[in-house]
Chains A and B, each alone.
Chain A
């Protein structure tokens, strides 16, 4: 499943002004390549630069130095609108908190990205139903977020991220608010999507449960790439 290069970082540094003319260097000279279909985790302690790196890959922020190419495009040259369009077309996000829209049903939450992308109603219905089937929530499509458990909410968030079939999904601590059983459920769902759809998953995590599913672990320490290792997942999509 893994083949073409879809994320390429060369000499990437990112600094933030912290007042008094001083700067905090969050990323230092990162060189990294991620290929299509990878199931990769950015691992490291708090403040190691995991989320900053996700921001750069997701066109949410620009590098201070170096180049970030995602899907063959140089994302730091994007204007705000171009970056938004790029995210809308190519990237799905999963957050630590599920951030579902509380007034809309499960179906409508998953439908929302397609609505924003201007997809026709018939096509939306078909695609949303398919996405809910992938995450096993067809029976909850008319429920409101407040009627769902944490695990179900995160599965809706996953369905929302994959419904437009992005080539990359960036997930920031997706299991942080879930118990062990729900964490495994959601991760198995992601592995299944990765295997069936070829979607590339990049996680930011320090949760061992997530790490157990990874095929590649990139360890960051103090903004530097400390270790990049291929893993044999301890838990496959169908295993517990």
Chain B
């Protein structure tokens, strides 16, 4: 029977081409949209994770309550001890301490007086220890567009835009004016060794990066750090896995002093992800509905065109149920062809956009949102089925709806109907 159906489909272009094109296009768009959306979201999450929140973040309870203010007076003490416990608790997650801080960067003239001054946001992170994971994670080799990455204590990276605004140059000594963990004024000199450009508005305006030990020294918080970030080995944020780790963490002794948050908990990202999920399913539902209506119409037209064939087959003794089953098999075969082609095309486009991406760095210059400068799609195994299955369902559903007409055929009028 399959051979017979295939022959019919291959020989009768009117029977197959339009439905294959409709299913193929629908599936391609759905697969592409899904992969693109997932890619963009992943990119955004990845940027937020790398530059701000990690996939998981451990803080003191008090720090967590005032997290937006980066209250380093409420930082985690005995960071080496906590890190050791966290690495035992979840060895497949990379744990790194970071300290965020704010302050003023003062550029002195040759007399030591202020030549320029501006507000900065700073991140203290491990730049100097051998095998530091932070340098590749932050892609510092690439984003350091002038100069070099710090190689010894007392060296500083500042954003290129900030350097431009403050007329700072490489090799120049600058002064960070901030507050210590104890609340007193902190003044510390750094040598600017590199300029960074992340292609993300908020980071390119006034970001400074220094080794964590320098920041600990400058802010008088030895062995302490505002946050310890956890990064999943896959490089992608897995919300369910993160929630599971948090649940597990709550059962450890660490949880008496510390709290663990996931990336989804920060800056409304969880709500955003929920909203994206809703949009994805709405899109899929809309796509199925649209394809079903078009394919229903196409199946109705095919039914009219094949009126004689259906009549003769009813006369020859096929029951209406058998005939409808045949048409559904036929639709399934057409759907399989169209959906496979569409899903492959969608995955192909996604692969291209995953490798090449769309550069939006120019558009994001003035933005306050942390977005990756290059939007990339993501090729995911489920992406194939997200388009494929709805495409298949749509054509079978459309044919089933059109097939209701078979049940309205009156066999008593077949002789008359088949006269012409």
Contacts and interface: CB of A to CB of B under 8 A. Distances in A.
Interface of A: 51, 54-55, 58, 60-61, 80-81, 83-89, 91, 93, 95-97, 99, 101-104, 108, 112-113, 115-117, 160, 172-173, 176, 204
Given A95-B312, A104-B11, 6 more contacts: A51-B415, A60-B414, A97-B420, A101-B309, A103-B8, A113-B317
Interface of B: 1, 4, 7-8, 11-12, 15, 308-309, 311-322, 411-412, 414-416, 418-420
Given A81-B319, A103-B12, A108 B4 contact: yes
8 contacts: A55-B411, A81-B319, A84-B318, A95-B419, A99-B311, A103-B8, A104-B7, A117-B317
Nearest to A83: B411
Contact of B411 (A60, A97, A115, A204): A60
Contacts of A88: 316-318
A116 B318 contact: yes
Contacts of B318: 84, 88, 116
A207 to B, nearest CB: 14
A87 B317 contact: yes
A54 B315 CA distance: 12
Contacts of A89: 317
Nearest to A113: B316
A141 to B, nearest CB: 15
B316 A55 contact: no
Given A54-B415, A60-B315, A60-B412, A116 B322 contact: yes
A73 B411 CA distance: 19
* Max count, chain B CB within 10 A of own CB: residue among A55, A83, A176, A204: A55
A86 B318 CA distance: 10
Given A96-B418, A99-B418, A103-B7, A61 B411 contact: yes
A143 B1 CA distance: 20
A64 to B, nearest CB: 12
B415 A172 contact: yes
Contact of A93 (B4, B308, B315, B322): B315
B203 to A, nearest CB: 63
A160 B316 CA distance: 9
A127 B414 CA distance: 27
A60 B282 CA distance: 47
A115 B1 contact: yes
Contacts of A96: 418-419
A61 B410 CA distance: 9
B315 A108 contact: no
A167 to B, nearest CB: 14
B316 A116 contact: yes
A99 B322 CA distance: 19
